[in-house]
Structure 1
Amino acid sequence: MHRVLISDPLSEDGIKPLLEAEDIETVMDSTMSYEQLLEAVASAEALIVRSQTQVTREVIEHAPHLKIIGRAGVGVDNIDIDAATENGVIVVNAPDGNTISTAEHTMAMLMSLARNIPQAYHQLQQKRWERKKFVGVELKDKVLGIVGFGRIGREVAQRAKGHRMKVIAFDPFLNEEKAEKSGVTNGSLDEVLQQADFLTVHTPLIEKTKHLINEETISVMKTGARILNCARGGIVEENALYEAIQSGKIAGAALDVFEEEPATEHPLLSLPEVIATPHLGASTVEAQENVATDVSYDIRELLRGGTVRNPVNLPSVSSEMMERLAPYFKLSEQLGSFLSKVVDGTLERVNVYYSGELLDVDTIPLTRVAIKGILSHHIGDRINDVNAFKTAADKGITINEQKSTRTKGFTNLITVEVETDKEKRSLAGTLLNGLGARIVQFDQYSIDVVPEGHLVVIRHTDQPGAIGRVGSLLAEHEINIATMQVGRTNEGGEAVMVLTVDKPVVGECNEKLGQVEDIKQVQCLTI
């Protein structure tokens, strides 16, 4: 008999796959103290939580029989993923269960914002009948700008089109073909900001999207535009939004999430132009049932020897295979991460080539890690070694893996090549005995660079003085160069310069580098 412990409140209809299984004993107790949880989990093979239970390393290490942890929802911030992986415990979540509920909540907020419904109702509660004060705007023919065109963004778009809105979307994985198929316009971030009458965000919260909507991005929006955030607190810089509403630049905002929650005393709530809800995007009977069902199904299948649909961490690899692959994992991810930050356009295809010592091993785990490195730049921690392939497929990205006897003089070589709708870029790396990971080729240029730290990649014309001008400019801004590599194909032609520096090159220094004579492109990245 398999034992499943549920430590947070869940829909009983949602956990029917477990309750109806004759070979599974399900114990539900959402009132346990942390000490009681440690005791209860000791005999469990599976643990299901929502956001209340903190699944720490201690909890996992107190559960010698634990095979799987299910998070009935999307985020897994309350689960120590590293500890789970180290102890051979698979973590699953329910990424699709609240898609409809969040999209519908966004539309409810959109319509409420357009017609001032909460404010008008509040006045009625105060026994005031003020029709003229709450004149709204129609949605028909208005432009809805969507930042983030994943599952939820697409659902919002379909509903907005039903209101005869014009939809323009920005997503790093959206191209013209996909946009046309969805009936929306594909735009850059600036184009979406400039055209939107209503702007809604549906991205994960990662370094790249934190405070994406800020003073600078708000400044390019239409005066009188409105902003919605039913995704993650922190995507919208709240102080900037407050000031923009106060100044009249932004006509109003609808917020379901805040950077710090609960947010009952937030200054934005004092503005009559703001409507808000207490993080209700996934709070429907159906969504709660869906996430519980999805997780219950995965747990039941795993306990019976099957496979899971929504894994979050890496499944186990044989110790023999892991021993051979382990040295290459970091290099593979670094190659993918590097390329993702220098390539331009919408990603369409990734080719990974292996040669030398890697010819006779299963390199699929390495390819997963390379894909993870590429996608994490846009998606963040939601991407891992296991779901990288599925996520790439969902984004319409083709993955190709090949092996070759051509080693270019190296005992081992990994080459990652990405193709977008605009260009093709490649990066080759190796492990040098005693020296660690090295990038040995960037596009057609031979170089020798350690793939970590702060890097500056410069495309330039091979002319005397170019290197000196770069060095002098960095020195003026007190940025020390650790290493410099220059690759060229012929004298006086195109060349690439890759520098490792002691601190990031940002702001004025970055701008001035791009203006240096003979320099065509500057890209600054951190690996």
Structure 2
Amino acid sequence: MKVLIADGVSQMAVDILKDEFECDVRDKLPADELLAIIPDYDALIVRSASKVTAEVIAAAKNLKIIGRAGVGVDNIDVAAATDKGIIVINSPGGNTIAATEHTCAMMMAMARHIPIANETLQKGEWNRKKYTGVELKGKTLGVIGMGRIGSGVAKRALAFDMKVIGYDPYINEERCKDMGVTVGTFDEVVEKSDFITVHMPLTDTTRDMINKDVMARMKKGVRLVNCARGGIINEADLREAVLSGQVAGAAVDVFTSEPIPADHPLLGVPGIYVTPHLGASTVEAQIGVAVDVAQGIKAALNGEPVMTAVNMAPVSKQVMNVITPYFELAERLGCAVRALADGAIKKLEITYNGEIADVNTKMVTTAVIKGMLDSEMEKTVNYVNAPGLAKERGLKVNEIKDKDTERFANIITVTAYSGDKSVSVQGTLFGDKGRIIKIDDNRVDLAPQDCILICPHINRPGVIGQVGSIMGAAGVNISGMQVGTTSVEGTSLMILTLDKDVPKDVIKLITSMDGIFGAKVIVFDAN
């Protein structure tokens, strides 16, 4: 497989990838060249310079994963990638310390006028009185976005004896209180803070969330910091607010368009301090984000799940360690219910019993959907696009969790509903190997591998032998067999493990036999 690095990254990342893949480094690759060569590559790494547009993604015939060596992915059309089943990953933790420290440095430099004091002193001016600053101690810092970086800034601000009030739509109140951070609404942060720092992603919701109307509600003399994403604070409105004195100062590291032009509204305004997107520009951070992304790409190209995918359900490392052994089993349970169901499946119910019920199982559920859709979709189905494809097809998916379990530590039960009928398949792990232990109400013990023929039949002599004879005549070897009674009196369930798929005419011949009530084939290796 081939990996394209379109923006310069640490050599450590290149070395990780070159161990297994052909790796081309093309720093500062022009947009037209990226579009021309992208069809040849299976993976792409970018930083903030390269734009991975919908046009690029449409041209990417072999692309499986896009890695952003950094946090923000606004230079990647994530929706287009998701629709095509391409994983998009970032490095949410690799530059956390660098961005946190830069935010604090910007806030302190602004509070004490350090950049302009240095500049004028270098010119021979001695302006002690003119550049009198303000102390952080006792001031209220409003943190909008209490993720890794926002929380890191809050922690450091508390060490300066600041009061910290945090807002985040997904805030963990208990964690904030343990830190010493007061949880507030957006309005409370805006109206009560002396300093405000934003740490939100740039979305339709957060774009211009700090505009002239919001700034007008702030304390007169508030100071603003943006080391997150350009566009969260409206640049033109910020300029006017600083010039009017409503905002005493601003420290900005990110802009709506980068690099910025010479006539940018934030340039040349006393009290506004700017840096050229240096938040992640430390030696340690550049290595960290590049290595994170390289390891993610390596995992994805080897068919392994990736924790930092932005277009998949987020999963912590601890949870991933718990659920990873269940992915193959889950896919094959989905494959099984698809093969056994009569008609189009309209609803999937996935029940988790045992200790697995305590963790986030969204990716396991996605594996079930992937296994179910694989056999009936022309396009590639993977962990990225499976939920979207299910939604497009009107498939309702429901998770049920219950810690109680009868015989095993963990059990996954997949029930598929088609019309007024349903079929259920249950599985568990024996060591690290998946087993199917129940089909509807019938106890079984199957390794979900190869090909399986399931035949409910009348319980009388000769029926099983006739099926075996038909298989032999068709050249289909039977490598294993189970027979057990069903809940219907006088009937049994025959399950044959076969070395290859069964031709349709053979299935038709078996179902026409007297005493056979049906025949369904599950081809697991089709996944």
Is TM-score (shorter-chain normalized) higher than 0.5?
A: yes
Contact map agreement 2:8 2:28 (CA 8 A) in 1: no
Equivalent residue of 1:294, what SS? helix
2:40 counterpart of 1:53: no
2:218 counterpart of 1:229: no
Query: Unaligned regions of 5+ residues in structure 1, if any?
Result: 326-355, 369-384, 390-398, 405-409, 413-527
Q: CA offsets, 1:121-153, max 9 Å, x none?
A: 111122111111111111112111111111110
Contact map agreement 1:6 1:29 (CA 8 A) in 2: yes
2:156 counterpart of 1:167: no
Residue 188 of structure 1: aligned partner: 185
Change in Cα spacing, 1:137 to 1:63, as seen in structure 2 (3 Å) is closer
Within 5 Å, which residues of 2 pair with 1:462-473?
none
1:365 is displaced (CA, Å) by 7.8
The aligned amino acid for 1:120 is: A
Q: CA offsets, 1:40-72, max 9 Å, x none?
A: 444433222223333345544555443322221
Within 5 Å, which residues of 2 pair with 1:407-446?
none
Equivalent residue of 2:70, what SS? coil
Residue 157 of structure 1: aligned partner: 154
Residue 108 of structure 1: aligned partner: 105
State how many pairs are aligned: 354
Q: What TM-score do the two structures reach when normalised by structure 2?
A: 0.59
1:195 is displaced (CA, Å) by 2.1
Residues of 1 paired with 2:293 and 2:27: CA distance? 17
Residue 309 of structure 1: aligned partner: 307
The aligned amino acid for 2:273 is: I
Residues of 1 paired with 2:183 and 2:134: CA distance? 25
Residue 292 of structure 1: aligned partner: 290
Within 5 Å, which residues of 2 pair with 1:392-403?
401-402=399-400
Change in Cα spacing, 1:198 to 1:25, as seen in structure 2 (3 Å) is same
Equivalent residue of 1:169, what SS? strand
Equivalent residue of 1:76, what SS? coil
Change in Cα spacing, 1:313 to 1:238, as seen in structure 2 (3 Å) is closer
1:185 is displaced (CA, Å) by 0.8
Residues of 2 paired with 1:84 and 1:106: CA distance? 31
Change in Cα spacing, 1:264 to 1:35, as seen in structure 2 (3 Å) is closer
Residue 143 of structure 1: aligned partner: 140
Change in Cα spacing, 1:388 to 1:76, as seen in structure 2 (3 Å) is farther
Residue 463 of structure 1: aligned partner: none
Residue 14 of structure 1: aligned partner: 13
The aligned amino acid for 2:14 is: I
Residues of 1 paired with 2:215 and 2:55: CA distance? 44
Residues of 2 paired with 1:357 and 1:42: CA distance? 36
Contact map agreement 1:68 1:90 (CA 8 A) in 2: yes
Which of 215, 222, 235 is 1:218 aligned to?
215
Residue 74 of structure 1: aligned partner: 71
Q: What percentage of residue pairs aligned between the two structures are identical? A: 49
Equivalent residue of 1:281, what SS? coil
Residues of 2 paired with 1:232 and 1:63: CA distance? 28
Equivalent residue of 1:264, what SS? coil
Residues of 2 paired with 1:313 and 1:172: CA distance? 19
1:26 is displaced (CA, Å) by 2.0
The aligned amino acid for 1:243 is: E
Change in Cα spacing, 1:216 to 1:367, as seen in structure 2 (3 Å) is farther
Residues of 1 paired with 2:103 and 2:166: CA distance? 15
2:78 counterpart of 1:89: no
The aligned amino acid for 2:137 is: K
Task: Calculate the aligned-residue CA RMSD, in Å.
Answer: 4.1
1:212 is displaced (CA, Å) by 1.9
Change in Cα spacing, 1:37 to 1:258, as seen in structure 2 (3 Å) is closer
Change in Cα spacing, 1:117 to 1:360, as seen in structure 2 (3 Å) is closer
Change in Cα spacing, 1:388 to 1:169, as seen in structure 2 (3 Å) is farther
1:168 is displaced (CA, Å) by 1.0
Q: CA offsets, 1:277-302, max 9 Å, x none?
A: 12221222222211110110011122
Within 5 Å, which residues of 2 pair with 1:319-358?
357-358=346-347
The aligned amino acid for 1:268 is: L
Change in Cα spacing, 1:17 to 1:143, as seen in structure 2 (3 Å) is same
Residues of 2 paired with 1:123 and 1:286: CA distance? 32
Q: What TM-score do the two structures reach when normalised by structure 1?
A: 0.59
Equivalent residue of 2:11, what SS? coil
The aligned amino acid for 2:15 is: K
Contact map agreement 2:349 2:399 (CA 8 A) in 1: no
Contact map agreement 2:193 2:219 (CA 8 A) in 1: yes
Change in Cα spacing, 1:182 to 1:264, as seen in structure 2 (3 Å) is farther
Residue 443 of structure 1: aligned partner: none
Contact map agreement 1:45 1:66 (CA 8 A) in 2: yes
Residues of 1 paired with 2:33 and 2:265: CA distance? 40
Change in Cα spacing, 1:145 to 1:296, as seen in structure 2 (3 Å) is same
Equivalent residue of 2:13, what SS? coil
Contact map agreement 1:193 1:217 (CA 8 A) in 2: yes
Query: Unaligned regions of 5+ residues in structure 2, if any?
Result: 314-326, 339-344, 352-360, 367-382, 388-396, 402-412, 414-418, 422-527
Equivalent residue of 1:132, what SS? coil
The aligned amino acid for 1:103 is: T
Contact map agreement 1:144 1:196 (CA 8 A) in 2: yes
